[in-house]
Structures are given as structure tokens and as C-alpha cells.
Copies of this chain bind each other. A is one copy, B any other.
Amino acid sequence: MITDKSKPFKVKSAVIERLAKELKVVKGPLIVVHGGGSFGHPLASKYKIADGYKKKSQLMGISLTHRAMERLNSYLVEALQKVGIPAVAVQPSACAVADNGRIKLMQINPIKKMLSIGLVPVLYGDAVPDIDRGVSILSGDQIVAYMARKLGASKVILGVDVDGVYTSSPKKSNRAKLVRKITPADAELVASLGAAGTKDVTGGMKNKVMELLELAKLGIEAEIVNAAKPNVLREAIRGKCGIGTIISRGY
């Protein structure tokens, strides 16, 4: 949503600037996490980073993938700075090690300290060192769930470019139905969710829902909303109900 997925390395500056403004309504501590869009995914896919480190030619691919993500991140950080939010990038591959694609260890003390003085950490999906695979892709979604759990987030909002979770892709089928609430009991629905297009190396909507369901089981509710529509993110932050899909424990 913050990048033009039809063109590599192209940001949607107006969208990023609008989202930065909408984030200004957050009163307490805030962490921002974004995905790879047309920056990380094409490179990660080209160099097969998600398959792990297998041959030397992938090294430059890891280097380029991380640098692309840092570039995308810089657009967000600078947009946040412009509206007066003291954003600081936090590089996942500098503080986390995965094992088989899942976060094994992550140093979050720097983030905690940043939050305590009022800085706004901005994380992102990244190619991270992996104990088993050498390297793996750590999705922004997994980071969101991990951070929310570790820090006891009071609110988790995922902005996407559709109105929430649909029974099938609303971009491909007009029979797709928006689901208002998903709980751990909806295993069948979740299993039926399609993975995203081939360019998303992190699994699209299905992956988001699965990460958030793990969080929901711990009692941390999340909402998936259409941040591509102006003001939706702002309203979700303010607590307006029923504007997307709630992922909750259900009781």
C-alpha cells in the first residue's frame, strides 16, 4: 500500500505522508512496522532468500534486499519526522536472530528505552540471520505479533489495502465476503484464506491472520483495517468499532 507494487522501488509518497499525519493522533507509546512492498519482495524472491542461504551468489542478494528495505524505511521515517513524530528506524536484522524463519532471540531493550523517552521505533520486514537456514525473511507481521506480545501492546492495528479479511480475494472475486471477526475457532476459514500473489514472500493475508491469532490467544486483540482509505487508520486508532476485521480470543 505504501509502495506501487507494479513498479520496483517506487513509493507512494502521498499515501505515506497521509498515514504519517493519521498516526499523529496516537497519544501513548507507538511502534510502527511496515512490510516490503515493491522494495523487499522482488529482491528477496530473485535471490531466493526465503529458502535460506545455500550459495555464495545469494550474499549480494541479502545485502541488496536489506538495503532496499532500509531505503523504503527511510521514506516512512522522514515522513513521520515531517509531521513532528520523532521516528527512529530499528533494523530487525541488527537485533534479531531467527531459527527456521521464527524469531529465536531479539534484543528489545533498545526499543523499550526508546519508547520510554518518547521516540517512535519504526521496524520493517527484513532478511535476518537464521540459525538453521543462514538467512530467512522475517515478515513485518511476525514482528508485529512478537513486539505486541513482548511489550504488552494495548492496541494492534494492521493497515492493508482492502477493507479487512475476506473469504476470498476481493480483488479477484465479487463473491468475496468481508469477515468482521475471527477467533481461534475459525480454523477452517483461516485455512481457506489464499496466500498472496507471488511477489509477496511472506504469505499475504493468511499469514497476517495466523500471526494475529497467536496474539489473540494471549488476549491481545488486533484489527485489520483499510489504511488505503483516508482517515480509516486514524479512526481505528481513535477506537471506532466495526471498520475492519477484528482478530480476537472471542470470549
A contacts, CB < 8 Å to B: 53, 56, 59-60, 62-64, 66-67, 70-71, 74, 77-78, 81, 84, 86-97, 105-107, 109-110, 113-114, 116-119, 128-131, 134-135
| CB pair B105 A129 closer than 8 Å | no
Interchain CB contact under 8 A, A90 and B86: no
B90 touching A113 by the CB < 8 A rule? no
Contact B88 A60 (CB under 8 A): no
Please, which residues of chain B bring their CB within 8 A of the CB of A134? Answer: 113, 116-117
In the complex, the answer to whether B70 meets A95 with C-beta atoms within 8 Å is no
Given A66-B89, A74-B67, A78-B67: A53 and B117 interface contact (C-beta under 8 Å) = yes
CB proximity of A3 to chain B, nearest CB, Å: 18
Task: Report which of B60, B89, B114, B129 forms a contact with A113, defined as CB distance below 8 A.
Answer: B129
Interchain CB contact under 8 A, B91 and A90 = yes
Point out the residues of chain B lying under 8 angstroms from A66, CB to CB.
88-89
Minimum distance in angstroms from A52 CB to a CB of chain B:
10
- A34 to nearest B CB, angstroms? 15
B118 touches A59 (CB 8 A): yes
Kindly provide the distance from the CB of A102 to the nearest chain B CB, expressed in whole angstroms.
15
CB contacts (< 8 Å) of A113 on chain B: these are: 97, 129-131, 134
Selected contact of A70 from candidates B59, B63, B89, CB within 8 Å: B89
